[in-house]
Amino acid sequence: MAMTFPPAADAQSTTDLTPSQDSSAIRRMADNILTEGKAYINLKTLCKGAPARLSGSANAAKGVELVRQMLIDAGADTVYLQPCLVPHWVRGEKEEADLTVAGGKKILLNACALGNSIGTAPGGVSAPVIEVRSFDELDRLGKKVIAGKIVFFDYPMKQTFVNTFQAYSDAVVYRVQGPSKAARYGAVGVVIRSLSTIPSDFPHTGTTVYDSTLPKIPALALSTNDADKLSNYLRMRMVTRLHIKTGCKMLPDVPSFNVIGELRGSQHPEEIVTVGGHLDSWDLAEGAQDDGAGVVQSIEVIRALKASGITPLRTVRAVLFMNEENGERGGTAYADSAAKDGNQYIFGLESDNGGFTPRGFSIHATREQFVHFTAWRQLFEPYGVYQWQIGGAGADVEPLIGVKSVVGELVPDSQRYFDYHHAANDLFEAVNRRELLLGAVNMTALIYLVSTYGI
C-alpha cells in the first residue's frame, strides 16, 4: 500500500528517499538493533557500575562518566558535558517505622522517606496516627483533629484506570502536596500509601514539595502491604501510636552535568532533533526501568544510525539529562541553552516510561504538526507500534516547548511499570532485553524520519 508523506518545505531538495526506501532503512536499523544492539549490555554496565544515581551523589558522577564513554563508543561525532547545578538530598540511615498496638505489641513496617523530606529528631517522632483518604477529608477534620498527629494518606492508585500512568497522575498529589497540606493543620509527620498497583513489601519513594510558607514535617511512604496492615489495625481501633524515624537532609546544591552526544546533520546542522532519557535515579536501587532504559535506548539511536551508515540531514542529539527526579534542573539547563545558541530545535523525544514493550508515541504538537507523525504510522506497525496520540511529553524535553519545539515520548506498555517505580526492586534483572531493544527500534525510526523530513 503506497504511503503519502506530509508536505515539507525542503523535502524534495534534501532527500530523494521514497516510502519504500524509508521502510528499508528502518528495517536495516531494526535488524541491527535486534541482533547487534548494545542497549542491554550498556544498561547492565550502568546499573551495576553506578546504581542509585541520585543527583549530587558520587554514583551520579560515575554515571556521567560511564554514559559519556558509551556515546563515544556508539560513534557520536561530538560528546560533551553540559553543566547544571543540582539539589543534593541524602537519605541517611535506614528509616524506621513501627506501630504500637493494643497490649503494647510493636509491629515493624516497611517504609522509606520521600525525596526531599526533612529528617526527624534523633529519637524520631512518636504520635497518634489518623487515616485520611482525601484532601477534602483533611480539610473537614481540620486543626482540632489533626494537630499533634501523624497523618496517613491512604489513597491507592485506582485499579480501574487501564493506563497506569493515569492512576499515578490521580494519586501522586498526595505524595507531592500531602506533607505541607497536613502541616497546615499541625500534623507532626506524614506517611502515604506507596504509589504502586500491586500488593508489595517494597515502599516507593518520590519527590515531595514543601510549601515554603508552612512548617516542614517528615514524610515517608509505606509499602502497599503495610499500608493495608495499618489501615486494618486502625479500623479495628487497635493502634495506640506510630513511630517514625529518618536521618535525611538537604545539603547545598552541587555541580553536575547533562551528557550530550550528537551526529551532525549533513544539510541542516542548525536544526536539532533531540532524543533522551534521564541519567539520575532514586537511591534505593539501580534505576533500571527509571530511567536507565531511556538512557541506553537514546544512546542506541546514535549507535544504530551510525552502524547503518545513515548520516542524518538534521543534527541528531542524544541528551542524558541529570536531575529529573527531584528538581528537573537538567531539562531546564538544556532548554535555557537552546534559547540562546541560535539553533532551531524542531523535535525532542524522551523515553522515561520504562523499558517495556513499545505501544506508541505521545506527541505534544498542533493538529497540523501531528499530521506529519500519523502519516508515518504504517512504517511502525511491523515493530508493534500502533498508538499515536496528541498529549504529553517527557519531563526533560517539555521545557523545549518554550523554544517552539515539538516534543513527545515513547509510550510502552504500562501495566508493570509501577511494580518497580522508585522502589528497591528497580534492578537490571527486571528489564527484558527484547522489550528494551524494541523500544530502541521505534525511537530510532522516529528520530530518523524527523531528521530526514523535518516537521
283, 54 Cβ separation under 8 angstroms: yes
Contact yes or no for 241/256 (Cβ under 8 A)? no
Q: Tens of pLDDT along 149-178? A: 999 999 999 999 999 999 999 999 999 999
pLDDT score for 233: 96
Q: For 93-247, CATH number?
A: 3.50.30.30
**Concatenated DSSP letters of 331-372:** HHHHHHHHTTS--EEEEEEE--S-SS-EEEEEEE--HHHHHH
Q: Following CA atoms 41, 47, 50, 55 in sequence, which dihedral angle do they give, to the nearest 10 degrees?
A: 120
User: Can 11-89+252-453 and 93-247 be said to share one CATH topology?
Assistant: no
Q: How far apart, in whole angstroms, are the C-alpha atoms of residue 276 and residue 260?
A: 9
Domain 11-89+252-453 grouped into CATH 3.30.499.10:
no
Cβ neighbours around 328 below 10 Å, total: 20
User: Cell for 154?
Assistant: 491512604
Mean predicted lDDT score pLDDT of the chain: 95
Buried residues in 332-342 as b, exposed as e (16+ CB within 10 A): bbbbebbeeee
Question: How far apart (Å, rounded) are the C-alpha atoms in residues 268 and 284?
Answer: 43
Query: Where do the domains of the chain lie?
Result: 11-89+252-453, 93-247
What's the pLDDT score for residue 30?
Answer: 98
CA 100 vs CA 67, 109, 131, 298, 424: distances in Å? 47, 11, 15, 49, 26
Conformational region of residue 233, where left means phi above 0, alpha means psi within -120 to 50, and beta covers everything else: alpha
Looking at residue 56, its pLDDT comes to 98
Q: Would the pLDDT of 4 be above 50?
A: no
Write the burial class of residue 434 (CB in 10 Å: 0-12 exposed, 13-18 middle, 19+ buried): exposed
Q: What is the DSSP letter of 157?
A: P
Query: Residue 17: what pLDDT?
Result: 55
The pLDDT value recorded for residue 20 is 83
pLDDT at 390 over 80: yes
d(CA 78, CA 70): 12
Q: Residue 303 and residue 315: Cα distance in Å, rounded?
A: 14
The residue whose grid cell reads 547545578 is 85
| Distance, C-alpha 450 to centroid of its chain | 23
Cα-based torsion angle of the residue sequence 119, 123, 127, 129 in order, rounded to the nearest 10 degrees? 50
| pTM reported for the whole predicted model | 0.94
pLDDT for residue 5: 29
Higher model confidence: residue 392 or residue 38?
A: 38
What percentage of residues in the chain have a pLDDT greater than 90? 95
17-31, 240-254, 436-450: least confidently modelled range? 17-31
245 within 8 A of 130, measured Cβ to Cβ: no
Asked if pLDDT for residue 368 goes beyond 80, the answer is yes
Helix (H, G, I), strand (E, B) or coil at 237: coil
pLDDT band at 19 (very low <50, low <70, confident <90, very high): confident
